[in-house]
Amino acid sequence: MNTSFWKAGHTPTLFAAFLYFDLSFMVWYVLGPLGVQIATDLGLSTQQRALMVATPILSGAVLRFVMGMLADRTSPKSAGILGQAIVIAALGLAWSMGIHNYEQALLLGLFLGFAGASFAVALPLASQWYPPQHQGKAMGIAGAGNSGTVLAALFAPGLAGAFGWNNVFGLALIPLVLTLVIFAGVARNAPERPQPKAVADYLKALADRDSWWFMLFYSVTFGGFLGLASTLPGYFHDQYGFDPVKAGYYTAACVFAGSLLRPLGGALADRIGGIRTLLVMYTLAALCIAVVGFNLSSSSAALALFVVAMLSLGAGNGAVFQLVPQRFRKEIGVMTGLIGMAGGIGGFALTAGLGAIKQSTGDYQIGLWLFAALGVIAWIGLHGVKKRWRTTWGSAAVTAARV
């Protein structure tokens, strides 16, 4: 990364956006690695466990749209502070009053959606500081906050075993409060920001077919990343009989791979083009998931394939958002909300769908194959639209995208 990048924007804001996103993702995802322990104590079925884990994903998807509008109308920083305060309050109540049944777990999941909505705050906050030639790097660094899922997968099951899973919510408050203080003191809104958008602007964006393509592509890359991250603790427990801590370690390895490759995926897209990068990543992810679907007897082989799949999906996340500012520079706030919402819906559908299929068929095979097929559909769609994009985005965008 050359020195021109570090001089182009506002580095403290970039890293404050990353930290905010990272800790928000940690608590947004926390029900995933705790799912087996919570389900055991509350007597939940596999499908109920999956829906509990998926609820924050769906809530976050819808709230990203709301938070995107709020960030446009006030500022990304103000929206971020409000969202973080709501999450802290929800976790504080869950910790102090306890979660005693399935319905209360779902209610907590709804409020944790505000943590998932941090996507619609962190990415515009970072993006608005940087010129087009550095968008892939900036969005990749800010978006690497996906790594917060690693923290939850690594530490939540072990902490739950030592102190009880309800006390994990209280322990999470410590880094969340510190992050809120840092974010409020360090982050700065960009001096030049797009004008606030009305609801009509979102509807207008949806009238553009490119919006739907981007929503599909991100629902596969980010939805796949988040859906697998949320499902894998239960998958390794159900498929190989792992205890929650070991399942968390295996999941953390997969999630770390995907998180690590998000910024590198953005940088690679800056170099060889977002579309070329995505085509390769869809191919790798679909192949790996399809092979895992054969119910491999070796947990190590399954782990290796999941790691490659998550690497590909993580890099794909960075590539998608290398392309978004080129196509929607003036509508970045609107499109960040819409595309992020689509990614969250994809994650919810994958998590809940895999749980429902496991409940009805006894294994995850059909669900994994369906997801692999969706990756193939995304590949075909992207390959099909690239020629039109070559002629409609304009010469500057074509040069940057290297279609």
Q: Is 165 exposed, middle or buried (0-12, 13-18, 19+ CB in 10 A)?
A: buried
d(CA 189, CA 128): 8
Identify the H or E element spanning 388. Answer: helix 365-392
The model's pTM: 0.87
Cα-based distances in Å from 81 to 112, 139, 306: 15, 20, 35
The CA distance from 149 to 248, in Å, is: 11
Nearest to 353 by CA among 200, 228, 190, 187: 228
- List Cβ neighbours of 94 (8 Å cut-off, separation of 6 or more): 104, 108, 166, 169
Q: So what's the pLDDT on residue 402?
A: 47
Q: What is the pLDDT of residue 2?
A: 61
* DSSP element (H, E) containing 157: helix 148-163
User: Are the C-beta atoms of 282 and 378 separated by less than 8 Å?
Assistant: yes
Query: Distance (Å, rounded) from C-alpha 122 to C-alpha 146?
Result: 11
SS3 242: coil
44: which DSSP letter?
-
Phi-psi region at 126: left, alpha or beta (left = phi > 0; alpha = psi -120 to 50): alpha
Burial class (CB in 10 A: 0-12, 13-18, 19+), 387: exposed
Closest CA relative to residue 85, chosen from 67, 104, 61, 107:
67
Q: Measured between alpha carbons, how far is 288 from 283 in angstroms, rounded to an integer? A: 9
Q: Write down the pLDDT at residue 47.
A: 95
Structure tokens at 130: 């940087």
What letter does residue 194 receive in the DSSP assignment?
Answer: P
Amino acid present at 18: F
Instruction: From residue 359, give the alpha-carbon distance in Å to each of 55, 109, 354.
Output: 17, 21, 9
Q: Which residue is associated with the tokens 């804001």? A: 13
CA 207 to chain centre: 25
Q: What is the pLDDT of residue 137?
A: 75
Q: Which residue blocks in 30-131 are alpha helix, DSSP H?
A: 35-42, 46-73, 76-97, 102-116, 119-127
SS3 232: helix
Please state, in angstroms and rounded to a whole number, the distance separating the CA atoms of residues 371 and 9. Answer: 38
C-alpha 3/C-alpha 327 separation (Å) is 26
- As a whole number of angstroms, the distance between CA 391 and CA 403 comes to 10
Question: In 3D, which of 230, 202, 217, 223 has the Cα closest to residue 345?
Answer: 223
Please calculate the CA angle 173-178-181 and round it to the nearest 5 degrees.
125
**Cα of 188 vs its chain's centroid, Å:** 23
Q: Which residues of the chain have pLDDT under 50?
A: 394-403
* Pairwise CA distance, residues 354 & 110, whole Å: 20
Q: What is the pLDDT of residues 3-39, one digit of tens each?
A: 677 777 888 999 999 999 999 999 999 999 999 999 9
Q: What is the dihedral of CA 390, 220, 253, 148, to 10 degrees?
A: 90
Task: Sketch out the chain's domains with CATH numbers.
Answer: 11-188+197-401 (1.20.1250.20)
